Amino acid sequence: MGFMLRVLFVGISLATAVVFKQYRNLTAPMPVPDLNMKQYWGPGDVKQYKEDASIKPFKVSYDAAVIEKLRGKLTDVPKLTPPLDGVAFEYGFNTNRLQDILKYWRTTYLDKWSEREKFLNKFPHFQTQIQGLNIHYIHVKPKVPAGTKVLPLLLLHGWPGSVREFYDIIPLLTTSSKDKDFVFEVIVPSLPGYGWSQGSAKKGLSPSEVAIVMKNLMSRVGFEQFYIQGGDWGSLIGNYIATYFQSNVLGVHLNMCSIMTPLSYPKMFLAALKPSLFIDEQYTDFYFPLSAKFANIIEETGYMHIQATKPDTIGTVLQGNPVGLAAYILEKFSTWTNPAYRNLPDGGLEKYFSLDALLDNVMIYYLTDSITTSQRIYAEAFASDELKKEIDRIPTAVPAACAKFRHELFQQIDWVLKDHFTNLVQSNHFEDGGHFAAMQLPEVLYKDFVAFIASIQK
């Protein structure tokens, strides 16, 4: 019996050692890998490529014929299936509401397209070639007295957004004000494959590779050290820049903070058992109950499964199709702003956004034929080669801040986030707001960002 107990004890000890070793291997911090800063993403053979490092002014400009062709498509709309009785946005975009928006787009909006084009050109636009791709960006230099502290800032958007998301916050950032003793010089790129930035011709342009393109862009415009603010894909890419280039990033502020490590989900499940041990009780419902949060995620991420597996198929459905494109994109600006808007016949779209602003964003996708290339980032993000990198297991010591808006699609508690963001210096909750914070609540996001920068400037 004693022998058997010894065998059992040794067996349990060995099993425990194996489990502990595997656990340690899975959770041990990883180093920053060697990076290929010159990976070529353009068409053809890299051997025939010679990068044009010049920076060229760019202007948003389309011939009248392009706009009139769009007007024709918006006039010749197929008969749309009416919504079910008593149904608002629960089945997707309400077609009664869509008819109203299409009429406004076809008439009022397109009638003043010259004004909208002028508005889109209100900031200086540029293009430059990075790793085989023509990259578009807005670059706003503040006009301030000599001696004013000017800080370089990279603003990063996501899907289905664009540089248009930042038009209301840019003036706040680049103008002197009493709430800060500094201003920002702002660089706002269109992500590769979005808007006026060229899409990759090669497989593999994942978020971590986009991070390298964005770092190269900042070097191109003259900044080796800079701050970052981002949401959606901009949050993930901003995180990766701050992880790969820790000596270059002075601070990173994100409004969709999340990480993926072997411990992130076990920690969330553990915290769900007694949330008050891990989070202030007044913010518990930002994260819990997990059942309700996951149910909402499942309801809102059907698009993601399609785009992660068949981006070119859904892209073909939407490209050149303004009716489908508007419904597909604007639906996100409804339910991702507040899931309760599913129950509103108008989708709550104009509670925070003007139709002009929403259609500006749709127009960028339509005029550039970028819906397919913008969606490919999902396939690259979920590719096995990208997932194997486990980038969130690389700790970043860059000062970090998370702005948590109540109706954001996904939230993680700081106990989880600090496994990766080891210098998380600010984490604030906001009772209002959703996924498109820069466009929905620009002043709120601005104040949170400025408070973060002021704290680390000290």
Kindly list the catalytic residues. 232, 378, 435
The sign of the CA dihedral 249, 252, 257, 262 is: positive
Tell me the two tokens of residue 81.
């299936």
Q: In what side-by-side order are the strands of the sheet with 133-140? A: 55-58, 125-130, 133-140, 182-189, 149-156, 226-230, 249-254, 400-405, 424-430
Q: How far is CA 40 from its chain centroid?
A: 23
Which own/partner contact pairs does 64-68 have at CB distance under 8 Å and 24+ positions apart?
66/367, 67/110, 67/113
Whether the CB-CB separation of 393 and 261 falls below 8 Å is answered with yes
Residues 265, 379, 153, 118: is their CA dihedral positive or negative? negative
CA-nearest of 169, 245, 250, 249 to 448 is 169
User: What would the two tokens of residue 262 be?
Assistant: 């072997």
What is the DSSP code (8-state) at residue 105? I
Say what angle helices 264-273 and 290-300 make with each other, to 10 degrees: 130
| CB contact at 8 A, 116 and 363 | yes
